[in-house]
Amino acid sequence: METKLLNITTENLQLAAQMLAAGKLVVFPTETVYGLGADAFNEEAVKKVYEAKGRPSDNPMIVHISDRAQLEQLTPQITPVMEALMEAFWPGPLTMVVKKRTGIPDATTGGLNTVGLRMPSDETARELIRLSGCPIAAPSANLSGSPSPTRPEHAAADLEGRVDAILMGGDCQVGIESTVVDVSGSQPMVLRPGIITREALAEVVRSLGMRVEMDPALFINRPRDVSGSDFKPKAPGMKYRHYAPKADMEVISGQADGVRAEINRRKLEREAAGQKVGVILFGEDQYRQAAHDFFANLRQWDDQGVDLILAGALDDADSVGFAVMNRMLKSAGYRVIQV
């Protein structure tokens, strides 16, 4: 398949929107990561997304909208908690899992009776959705299992030849995927952590007499436990091997000084054995930066052909650190060394 690489111009946005409306696949920037979009109501188009990514088809997609009017097509009822969270965080990096309207293809929602909805703050993304005239189902625009794309060249490296067009926008501002919160039950529950933290959500829903729960699967830090039925994550996508760099990866956890020393020791040891080693290390006041850089760092080390990536854990982290650590553990296949 020939993939059009499109700069962000008015004409190219029109063209990309027409392609989406015609059932084609278009990669587009958002503030979190690049998305691989298709008309959410076009079952054939949505099926092609799974093929392009090599993604298991039980994994539901997030449906992206550009304005509130589109909500009514997607969910039967706008509840007070949805209302409050929309007011506080949309447009922005928050996905709400809500009851779905019949008519949304099962392919879009992985057969679930809920749907994940997000209104991105990225202007290009919203303009594209608006011009296409349809809600856009979009997972992250990477091959299934590889690090999420935060720059246009990442999406192109994974998907050129597999999609119809890629909108070559800028660097994604946030760098990790949206917070996913399920608001279809009696209390909101975070299924995937992101830069909108549990605390931030809790503050908004407190006036409704609600707390914010965390999916217990988020606290399991061994893959064996994650695949076990007791701890099946409620967001199907959270159970797959994710974000894996080609290099081996280890997370070093402990006091900051000890972590730095251990990373150095391991690095020198491997280098003495003729291997290439990459390091990812952020301070406690750098969580937003860590989120922004993390996936790009993984790809950069792979491009440089390193054998091993050593990453400093964001252990005693606030919640943004928790969101980055969630990705770090998956990338490393849960290989944690405690010092």
Residue with tokens 């409704």: 208
Q: Which does 114 bind (CB under 5 to 8 A by kind): Mg ion, ligand TXA, none?
A: ligand TXA
Among 35, 135, 188, 278, binds ligand TXA (CB under 6 A): 35
> Residues with Cβ < 8 Å from 204, sequence gap 6 or more?
84, 85, 88, 89
CA pseudo-torsion sign 190, 223, 279, 33: negative
Among 32, 109, 124, 140, binds Mg ion (CB under 5 A): 140
> Residues with Cβ < 8 Å from 258, sequence gap 6 or more?
339
Under rule CB under 6 A, residue 152 binds ligand TXA = no
Nearer to Mg ion, 140 or 179 (CB): 140
Is residue 76 reached through a cis peptide bond, with omega within 30 degrees of 0 on the bond before it? Answer: no
Size of the site for ligand TXA (CB under 6 A): 30
Yes or no: say if 34 and 141 are a contact pair by the CB < 8 Å rule.
yes
Q: Which does 30 bind (CB under 5 to 8 A by kind): Mg ion, ligand TXA, none?
A: ligand TXA
Closest CA to 149 of 174, 126, 125, 130: 174
Q: Residue 18 and residue 310: Cα distance in Å, rounded? A: 44
Q: Is 118 annotated as a binding residue?
A: yes
Residues β-bridged to residue 63:
117, 137
> Residues with Cβ < 8 Å from 263, sequence gap 6 or more?
252, 279, 281, 310, 312
Under rule CB under 5 A, residue 144 binds Mg ion = no
Q: Is 270 annotated as a binding residue?
A: no
**Side-chain half-sphere of 175: how many Cα atoms within 13 Å?**
20
Nearer to ligand TXA, 124 or 253 (CB): 124
Q: Buried b vs exposed e over 276-307: b needs ≥16 C-beta within 10 Å?
A: ebbbbebeeebbbebbbbbbbbbbbbbeeebb
Least gap, CB of 177 to Mg ion (angstroms): 6
Under rule CB under 6 A, residue 227 binds ligand TXA = no
Under rule CB under 6 A, residue 115 binds ligand TXA = yes
Under rule CB under 6 A, residue 33 binds ligand TXA = yes
Among 16, 39, 42, 60, binds ligand TXA (CB under 6 A): 60
Q: Residue 150 and residue 155: Cα distance in Å, rounded? A: 8
Q: Which does 259 bind (CB under 5 to 8 A by kind): Mg ion, ligand TXA, none?
A: none
Q: Which does 245 bind (CB under 5 to 8 A by kind): Mg ion, ligand TXA, none?
A: none
CA distances 11 to 16, 80, 232, Å, are 9, 39, 45
Under rule CB under 6 A, residue 118 binds ligand TXA = yes
Q: Is 299 annotated as a binding residue?
A: no
Q: Is 221 annotated as a binding residue?
A: no
Nearer to Mg ion, 35 or 135 (CB): 35
Q: Which does 24 bind (CB under 5 to 8 A by kind): ligand TXA, Mg ion, none?
A: none
Among 122, 158, 177, 262, binds ligand TXA (CB under 6 A): 177
Least gap, CB of 49 to ligand TXA (angstroms): 9
User: Which residues are annotated binding-site positions for ATP?
Assistant: 55, 59, 114, 118, 140, 148, 192, 243
Q: Residues in the site for ligand TXA, rule: CB under 6 A?
A: 30, 32-33, 35, 59-62, 93, 95, 97, 109, 112, 114-116, 118, 138-140, 177-178, 180, 191-192, 234-238
